[in-house]
Amino acid sequence: MAGRLRLLPRSLDPLEDESIHGYLLRLAHRFGAAPLEIAVRTGLVDPVPARNRIPVRLLHDLDERRLDAFARATRLTRDEARGLLTAPLGERYGPLSARLLAEFRTPKGMVHNNRWILTRTTRYCPRCLSGDGTEIEERHGGCWRRAWRLPPVFACLRHQRLLLSGCPRCGQDVNAARTGSLIARASEAGLHPAQCRATVPSTRAMCGAGLAGQEDRLPRAPSAVAALLRLQHHFDGLLDPDGPKLVGSFGWLIPAAQYFIDLRALSALIFMTWPRARALADTEALAVLVDREAEERHAEFAKSRAEAKAGRRRQASHHYSDPAADPAVAGAVLGIAARLLSAPDENETHELMAPIIDGAKERNFSMSYQFRRLSGTSYPLQAILLTSRQDRGAFQRMGQRIEGQGFRRLAAAQRLT
């Protein structure tokens, strides 16, 4: 394919942390073309059949043939082209690591079966989409960041605000694509990169609202926003390629990538047993947000359980394991999970975790075991989730196993900071 493609007459330099979704939108706008046309011309999509969509899997990774063709056509280096994909984020973000998660070995499985990457939706910062004032961003808009596809990224530290998860005008996902395309209305030209592409159900017309500079319609308590910004600072430091390689988890040092898998497991248990962890929320406003979300999840789980008993379908666990769509709710739950992981020793850890573990077993024992034994979680987390407070011998044996795997305990000075 690379030999048959011609270089584009002009291109764009990628912006910092730009996603391939955003890059295609900006490149299409520069040419006055449809994103699908640009995807075909750059070798991302085969000309026949295009099916009027850009496959979602291209968000995450490209095979060598497509990567070479795309880099050549857009005048990018291979490293620049690969930097538009989410696969490299797996070095720091465990839920995208095929090395840590055996069930997501293939790029297709990673994208279509992994709910801890936002493939069919994206959060965004309206001020980032407004651009940085340079001529190129004034014309084609600012950066659609890769990091916005990660559930633990719910705020923009650059602009000190929470991200948005939908269009302020129509309330839908800004890239709602019924065809399962990476970009909605991929065959339409002339749309601005910072424009809502969702279809309004009542009219079946495109919303078209400008997203740059928009504000959240829901007011947020300043104390809650401040708590979420502090948590985002912590997460951003761990996601940074130059950030610390190890982080504390229940008194042990574990790889930063695995820390995010531990957060994923605890998030499911928190939703499953809510309100048992309510007292650990950073503010009452954040606890109230989780109250509403958990109530909906409990109702959906009860409905799923009734249908399973009636033999109509299998009982689904995703009602508890899915990350929250609302950025504030996502941050609230992950903040509780991070607080649990920061417990300095086994006594405090058992005291905090026992009500959650017991509550999960009471609600559904087999599902609780699924979450407590979630693939890719660290040995320190498994030691807590799979042993009881009463069985100190089992915990000690698990501790020896942890040390045998190369994990180190946090030093006393580190536990106090």
Using the predicted structure, report yes or no on whether residue 307 has a pLDDT greater than 70.
yes
* Residue whose structure tokens are 């708590």: 227
In this predicted structure, what is the pLDDT of residue 197? 93
The answer to whether 333 touches 282, Cβ cutoff 8 Å, is: no
Query: Cα angle at 304 between 299 and 309, to 5 degrees?
Result: 125
**Residue 188's pLDDT band (cuts 50, 70, 90):** very high
DSSP 164: B
Amino acid identity for residue 229 in this structure:
L
Higher-scoring residue by pLDDT: 286, 375? 286
* pLDDT score of 415: 44
pLDDT of residue 369: 86
32 by DSSP, 3-state: which? coil
371 exposure class (CB count in 10 Å sphere: 0-12, 13-18, 19+): buried
Lowest-pLDDT choice from 93-107, 130-144, 231-245, 359-373: 93-107
The predicted structure's pLDDT at residue 396: 60
Q: Is the pLDDT of residue 331 over 80?
A: yes
Q: Are 54 and 183 in contact (CB under 8 A)?
A: yes
Strand pairing of 155-156 and 161-162? antiparallel
Cα angle 216, 186, 46 (rounded to 5 degrees) comes to 140
In which band, very low, low, confident or very high, does the pLDDT at 287 lie, cut at 50, 70 and 90? Answer: very high
Dump the DSSP string for 362-387. HH-HHHHHHHHT-TT--HHHHHHHSS
Phi first, then psi, for residue 56 (nearest 5°) are: -65, -30
Q: For the chain, what are the domain ranges?
A: 20-206, 222-415
Residue type for position 3: G
- The C-alpha atoms of residue 283 and residue 378 are separated, in whole angstroms, by 28
pLDDT by residue (tens digit) across 137-186?
Answer: 999 999 999 999 999 999 999 999 999 999 999 889 988 766 678 999 99
**Omega before residue 201 within 30° of 0, cis:** no
Calpha distance 190→278 (Å, rounded): 48
Minimum mean pLDDT range among 159-173, 290-304, 346-360: 346-360
Most trustworthy range by pLDDT among 110-124, 265-279, 304-318, 402-416: 265-279
The dihedral formed by the CA atoms of 341, 112, 302 and 372, expressed in degrees to the nearest 10: -30
| pLDDT (0 to 100) of residue 1 | 44
State the CB neighbour count (10 A cutoff) for residue 376: 20
Mean pLDDT of 11-38: 96
State the DSSP H helix or E strand holding residue 358, giving kind and residue range, or none if neither: helix 346-363
What is the token pair recorded at 79?
């490293």
pLDDT above 70 as % of the chain: 86
> Considering only 33-47, 95-109, 199-213, 291-305, which range has the smallest mean pLDDT?
95-109
Whose tokens are 């599902």? That residue is 367
d(CA 379, CA 408): 11
Mean of all residue pLDDT scores within the chain: 87
What is the tens place of the pLDDT at every residue in 228-285? 999 999 999 999 999 999 998 888 899 999 999 999 999 999 999 999 999 999 999 9
- Residue 3's pLDDT is 42
Weakest mean pLDDT among 98-112, 177-191, 267-281, 323-337: 98-112
72-96 pLDDT, tens digit per residue, is: 999 999 999 999 999 999 999 999 9
CB atoms within 10 A of CB 337: 21
SS3 210: strand
CA–CA gap between residue 73 and residue 293 (Å, rounded): 45
Lowest-confidence range among 35-44, 77-86, 174-183, 202-211? 174-183
Helices and strands, counts by H and E, the chain: 17, 7
Q: Radius of gyration over alpha carbons of the chain, in Å?
A: 22
Closest by CA to 175, choosing from 159, 156, 188, is 188
Instruction: Give me the percent of the chain exceeding a pLDDT of 90.
Output: 60
Residue 413 confidence (pLDDT):
40
- Per-residue pLDDT band at 384 (split at 50, 70, 90): confident
Q: What is the predicted pLDDT for the residue at 386? A: 82
pLDDT of residue 417: 38
